[in-house]
Amino acid sequence: MDSDVRYLLSLGAVRDRAKLVGEAAQVGKLSNFDVDEERLSEVAEFVTSLIKRDFGPDKFDTIPPHGRWQHFEVGNVPRVADLISQWEGDGADDIEVTRRLIDLFFVSVLLDAGAGDHWRYVEPGTKSEYERSEGIAVASLYMFKSLAFATNKDDKAPIVDGKGLEQLTTDALAEGFQISLSNPLLGLESRANLLRGLGKSLLAQSEVFGVEGRPGNVVDYMKKTAKEPSKLDVAAFWDVLQALLIPVWPKDRTTVNGQPIGDAWPLSTLKVQADPKNGHGTSHIQPFHKLTQWLAYSLMVPFQRILGIEWTGTGSLTALPEYRNGGLFVDMGVLTLKKKALDQGLQASGTDLPMFEAGDDVVVEWRAMTLVLVDKLYKLVLEQMNGVHLSMAQLLEAGTWKSGREIAAKKRPHTKSSPIIIKSDGTVF
């Protein structure tokens, strides 16, 4: 693999490049945003207040790591616990339980790009209605239980396999997600293509996922290749996930020397900051790999909870550069669009909120600054937690992501949308 490509696919490159964008911000050289870092202390107070409200004064150790698991429990319904009890009752051991959770989480996370402001999911057998990430989680759970992602529809045990994903039709996904003219979901076709591409990639990597291309088989692979049976390395897991996912992303994204590099985009600010040591002709590219990181965060949890596995190297994972974390800083005045960018966005949307494409320079810079600002906010929040330590994954779960959602609901109660609208293709946000 080309060395520039290898670097841009790495976790280290995500934070390395974002730091350069942060340095540009310090001297007022961002292309699209003005930054008021003095307001970060106000954001830290707000985020800390939510953490203490929900987990104080003595339940901070119960804050779960940011991951997909919690979304399945929306409405205080223990859907995952119920599944596990059922599987154990049918004779599944801890390894098989973990495989099945990995199967479920894999497809659910990859479906978890922005749903838009209008889509809702009504849980079968109930009148409960869910939206956005939680709605997608519950919808994907019911599809999983109905063997929608499996080749053998008659098998009692729900699994996901490569051929099942390859054969998934867009109509089947639309039906599973209750999509209609009055209940539209952004990027339906892109999501279906993503899962079909995932099936093909799983089957192509049988050494990891078995001849059936089952995501859950990564449990056996990681345990078999681990240096210590009770510890797994995030960096090794990352390489497995990237090798699987890079061929799956849309083909019209950034390429380097003919090789696709996934969720990584040219950024004008980095052209000014270009460092030739970080790649020849690629120093202007900012990688994020948001869905791969969201997947990594999510998949790590079953390994921990079911198998008691400890993960090393977790500090290399970053914040997730998406509209909830990023919207927090816009809504609280840390980031403000410059007039030219704002006018362009308003013209594109025709509403009172600016809108941009996922690959637009404005959005790439916003996402990079989200990484920079969450790292700074993390330190400020820890200072206010009076000696209570939180991991980055806990900060994202109980702090920034929740804060971004709550302030959006307060400022825009009818839509709860981001302050900057991204035209989602169903594979980024």
Residues 191-199 have a mean pLDDT of 95
207 lies in some domain: yes
- Whether the CB-CB separation of 58 and 385 falls below 8 Å is answered with no
364 lies in some domain: yes
How many folded domains does the chain comprise?
1
pLDDT for 279: 46
- Whether the CB-CB separation of 307 and 95 falls below 8 Å is answered with yes
Residue type, position 103, single letter: D
Task: Please state the φ and ψ torsions of residue 122, each to the nearest 5 degrees.
Answer: -100, 120
Q: Is the dihedral of CA 267, 272, 276, 280 positive or negative?
A: positive
Q: Record the tokens describing residue 364, joined without a space.
A: 């790439």
pLDDT for 295: 94
Query: Among 106-120, 307-321, 377-391, which stretch is predicted with the lowest mean pLDDT?
Result: 106-120
Q: What does each C-alpha distance from 39 to 320, 333, 339, 413 come to in angstroms? A: 21, 7, 20, 23
Residues 161-174 have a mean pLDDT of 97
385 lies in some domain: yes
Residues 119-145 have a mean pLDDT of 96
Containing domain of residue 80, as a range?
3-423
Percent of residues, the chain, with pLDDT higher than 90: 87
75 lies in some domain: yes
The answer to whether residue 428 scores a pLDDT higher than 80 is no
The answer to whether residue 277 scores a pLDDT higher than 60 is no
69 lies in some domain: yes
> Average pLDDT of the chain?
94
The answer to whether residue 337 scores a pLDDT higher than 90 is yes
Q: What is the pTM of this model?
A: 0.92
- pLDDT for 371-392, tens place per residue? 999 999 999 999 999 999 999 9
pLDDT for 273: 61
429 lies in some domain: no
Residues 104-119 have a mean pLDDT of 89
Residues 17-27 have a mean pLDDT of 97
428 lies in some domain: no
Q: What does each C-alpha distance from 337 to 30, 36, 116 come to in angstroms? A: 10, 12, 22
pLDDT for 117: 82
pLDDT for 398: 95
